[in-house]
Amino acid sequence: MLTTIAVILIILWLLGVITSVTIGGFIHILLVVAIIMILVRLIKGEKVL
């Protein structure tokens, strides 16, 4: 579940960067949240993808 959310957030961030349509720092906050989710899973020893 967390991996799916993280992947979706990363894709949305990439779309925002590519199209240059960003909503202030919101997209970058989403990216940070996605990276934190992935790191938490790695630290717990769970499979990421």
What Cα–Cα distance (Å) separates residue 2 from each residue in 7, 19, 38, 46?
Answer: 9, 26, 8, 11
C-alpha to C-alpha distances, 47 to 7, 22, 41, 43, nearest whole angstrom:
14, 31, 7, 10
Domain boundaries along the sequence of the chain: 2-44
What average pLDDT does the segment 21-34 reach?
70
CB atoms near residue 30 (< 10 Å): 19
And the tokens for 4? 């799916």
Q: What is the pLDDT of residue 38?
A: 82
Q: Is the pLDDT of residue 44 over 60?
A: yes
- Residue 19 — very low, low, confident or very high, per pLDDT cuts 50/70/90? low
pTM (2 d.p.): 0.50
